[in-house]
Amino acid sequence: MLALRLLWRNWRSGEVKILAFSLLMAVAIVSGIGVFTDRLENALIKESNSFLGADRIVRGSKPFDPAWHLDADKAGVEHAEVTSFSSMVFAGDDMHLAAVKAVTPGYPLVGNLVVSDVPFSTNVAEQRVAANIPPEGEAWVDSRLLPLLGVKLGDTVFVGEHSLQITRVVISEPDRGDGFSLFGARLLMNAADLPATEVIQPGSRVSYQWLLAAPDAQLKPFLADLELKLTEHQRVVDLESAQRGLSKTLGTGQRFLMLAGVIGVLLAGVAIAISSQRFAARHVDQVALLKSLGAGAWRIRSLYAAQLFLLALFASGAGLVVGELLQRAVAILASQMFNIELALGGAEPYFIGVLTGFVCLLFFALPPLWHLPVVPPLKVLRRDMPVEPLRNGLQALLGVSAVLCLIWIYSGDLRLTGSVSAGLGVIVGLALLGAGVLLNIGRKLAAKKGHIWRLALASLDRRRGQSLVQILVFATAFMLLLTLSTVRTSLIDEWRFQLPEDAPNHFLVNIAPWQVAPIQTLAENNELEISALYPMVRGRIQQINQAEPENKRSEAWRREVNLSWATELPKDNKITDGVWWDQWSPSVPNEWGVSVEKGIAEDLQLNIGDQISFSLGGLELNARVASIRSLNWDSMRPNFYFLFSPGALDGYSPMYLTSLFLPPEKKLFINDLLHEQPTIVVVEMDKVIAQIRTIVERVSAGVEGVLWMVLASGLLVLFAAVNASMDSRMQEAGLLRALGSRRKLILGSVAVEFASLGLFAGVLAVIGTEVLLLGLQAWVFNIPVQPHYELWLLGPLLGAALVGGLGVYSCRKVVTVAPGLVLRELA
């Protein structure tokens, strides 16, 4: 097969290698990132769904219809039931209002229930994942329940009328973060024992949860059917509704990985275009020769098409292997750094990778090669005969529109596509307008400098067209890389900031006013810091503007909400409308003001100046809406829908609430605290926070790994672009060398030449980056828009250093090899 042989021979010349390598990189990056993202996503979905203990939960206040179980079995959906309620647990004379959870076999469907035989165990070796739920007649409990009741493992406690033997302690439950409603220590029991306890009576406050787990293909249709049968007291809960902050983090992480993939392809595409151009330039003679030997245009076309096809085939195959290795390496690295394990991914990314390779070839490699078959055969006699390649502008247009299509197809995100286009547009526009000016300025400056500078800038000026293209390519590559690393940094910072190391991880609730001082003393003795104390009263909304609406759909009408007052605006809160107390004045004397959370204000259609009547344990409290606040639900601090003006709740015997950060080694503080003040309630969020942090770290690790992959392809582009202009530069340098120029002068001028290109490109890139970031931050990632001053220094400097270095590296041969040989090779 002639094409194969030709390809093999062409392989020896560098440009085919770069072409193949760029193609390989495109396929590797797309499939590598794709598979990695897939795996990460699967792992994250698993991990985050373990927050629910299931893929979905149906939550209700009444028992579920047992007939549904059959439906689920038929649909191939795993299921288990959880019944939660507060109940007194007795052991002799001691008792505690425990958070009881009765479960059926299978619980938890997703995630692990970790238990131990050692109370308060912090040693992983003593802990294990429970394979089953507690057997009938047994209970597993929070360690702290043991001292509260004065019992030890093996002792018996009473739940209602039924006695249960405590056989293990619960170290962690996947779905622990599920709401604040139950404050007591956990008691986990088998649902089969429930009737015997006789604690559930008509009117008891019980939460029923039906846990469901199945692949989406089975789960989605099942849920669609189920939704029709749900009563108004039942609803389906997914991660989105259960953990807002977490699902936001996941979404952002996914968008980042997608952006990275897109940028990787873009870079590889540019590398492909450049190396194809060089390939075409070098093959004009070969084609003319083949034609003089009697090959017609169609023969040439099929010969080259076959070569390209074979190249694509081999490069894609190798790309898949490299992509696989890359993603495995990143996965292993990630699992070592963060101790995480990734689930397996699907086959789709591999397919998309290969497809990308072929699309890149079609749109980036073909246009530069388009004119080859029509090279006139007379060129063998008249070497100076001009050939007319497809216009650069048209080629760029084809490439860019292909890329935008690819981005759009991958991301399905018009805003992302738009942002990338805007960044590219700015760079191209500025390059066309500004590069000439920059070159002129450079030349004027150089005139005052030494020999090296004049030589370098003159060389740039002589190759204006080529220099312009190179500046464009460098600038595009820098822009994409700067953007990616900036987005990565701000995302990871934001995630870290959301949950700082010392974020409060325990809430102390139900603190009576006289308990405040002793608790503070106890905390001080243990060197712990207690954050602000909030007074809290539970209440229900009665009327808005002296009227009750017909439709009371909002949760706020149906449930008691936590009410509080504050002098200072809490840390993470922002006033979006109206004013805070320091600027507020009541419209009538002795009127109270209330600040309402944004979401619930929208739900209740509240506006500034509306009057709300609350019922607080039968007592009425009227307040006027003074401000609307947005707050950060991810912060793990006490958050309130309604905050009153100072003193409003004094007459309603408030209890206090606070949060504190408890490092693992001081965990036993809770026991001391509860021993001293048994009526207060401790909500432990530390395990939930640890879980969230794991997920955030996984996403961060993924982001980091992918960034490195893309950086690699960025370097490849730079390398290809530097190399593309080496032929003529080497020839000149060889000539200079032959004429007796010293090594220092030649390398110096090459360094200055490329460093200037890099510098110009760096400046353009920073401008483009700011534009692109503007779009990405505002539309895609929803992070605050801000200028990035560090880029303005970093971009140009890095550009100059990188491109200059690569230039010298690529040109080094000219000074290490005898000048005669260089000239001969290039003749």
Q: Which residues bind other proteins (CB under 8 A)?
A: 2, 5, 9-10, 12-13, 285-286, 289-299, 376-378, 380-383, 824-825, 827
CB of 463: closest distance to other proteins in angstroms? 23
DSSP string, 781-817: S-------HHHHHHHHHHHHHHHHHHHHHHHHHHHHS
Minimum distance from residue 755 beta carbon to other proteins (Å) = 31
Distance CA(178)–CA(570), nearest Å, equals 24
CB 292 → other proteins: shortest distance, Å? 6
- Least spacing, CB of residue 299 vs other proteins, in Å: 8
Rounded to whole angstroms, the Cα distance separating 82 from 595 reads 36
d(CA 78, CA 165): 29
Closest CB to other proteins among 286 and 515?
286
> How far is the C-alpha of 345 from the C-alpha of 376, rounded, in Å?
51
Distance between CA atoms of residues 614 and 141, nearest Å: 38
Q: Which is nearer to other proteins, 383 or 448 (CB)?
A: 383
Closer residue to other proteins (CB): 152 or 824: 824
| 3-class state of residue 214 by DSSP | coil
Identity of the residue, 228 or 293, whose beta carbon is nearer to other proteins in the bound complex? 293
Q: Which is nearer to other proteins, 297 or 306 (CB)?
A: 297
Beta carbon of residue 379, minimum distance to other proteins (angstroms, whole number): 9
- Least separation in angstroms between CB 383 and other proteins: 7
Return the C-alpha torsion angle 802, 803, 808, 811, nearest 10. 140
Whole-angstrom Cα distance, residue 172 to residue 689? Answer: 12
CA 277/CA 45 separation, integer angstroms: 44
Nearest approach in angstroms of CB 283 to other proteins is: 9
Nearer residue to other proteins within complex by CB, 433 or 738: 738
Q: Which is nearer to other proteins, 281 or 530 (CB)?
A: 281
Nearer to other proteins, 5 or 152 (CB): 5
Fill in the amino acid letter for 802: L
Query: Token match 């007591």: residue?
Result: 184
H-state helical runs in 387-463: 392-411, 414-448, 451-462
38 CB-side CA count, 13 A: 17
CB atoms under 10 Å from CB of 262, counted, come to 27
Spatial distance between the Cα atoms of 611 and 614, rounded to a whole number of angstroms: 10
| DSSP letter for each residue of 308-327 | HHHHHHHHHHHHHHHHHHHH
Task: Write down the least CB distance from residue 384 to other proteins, Å.
Answer: 11
Nearer to other proteins, 381 or 433 (CB): 381
Cβ at position 493, least distance to other proteins in Å: 51
Q: What does residue 164 show for φ and ψ, rounded to 5 degrees?
A: -130, 145
| Residue 459 neighbours by CB under 8 Å, 6+ apart | 729, 732, 749, 753
By beta-carbon proximity to other proteins, the closer residue of 690 and 821 is: 821
- Provide the b/e sequence for 130-155 (b: ≥16 CB within 10 Å): beebbeebbbbbbbbbbbbbebebee
The token duo for 550 is: 């017909």
Cβ nearer to other proteins, comparing 27 with 303: 303
**How many angstroms from the chain centroid is the CA of residue 433?**
37
Between 284 and 712, whose beta carbon lies closer to other proteins? 284
C-beta of 302: minimal distance to other proteins in Å? 12
Instruction: Write down the least CB distance from residue 289 to other proteins, Å.
Output: 6
| Smallest distance from other proteins to CB 4, Å | 11
- Would you give the DSSP letter of residue 545? T
CA–CA gap between residue 54 and residue 84 (Å, rounded): 16
Residue 370 CA to residue 387 CA, distance in Å, equals 12
Question: CB 10 → other proteins: shortest distance, Å?
Answer: 6
Is cis: bond before 108, omega within 30 of 0?
A: yes
The minimum distance between CB 3 and other proteins, in angstroms, equals 10
Q: Vertex 769, ends 333 and 780: CA angle to 5°?
A: 70
Which parts of 496-606 are beta strand (E)? 506-511, 534-544, 561-565, 574-578, 592-597
CB closer to other proteins, 292 vs 585: 292
Q: Is 594 helix (H, G, I), strand (E, B) or coil?
A: strand
Nearer to other proteins, 296 or 647 (CB): 296
Residue given tokens 């897939």 in the structure block: 38
For residue 576, give Cα distances in angstroms to 579, 627, 635, 639, 771.
9, 8, 18, 16, 27
DSSP 530: B
Amino acid residing at 122: T
Min CB(282)–other proteins separation in Å:
8
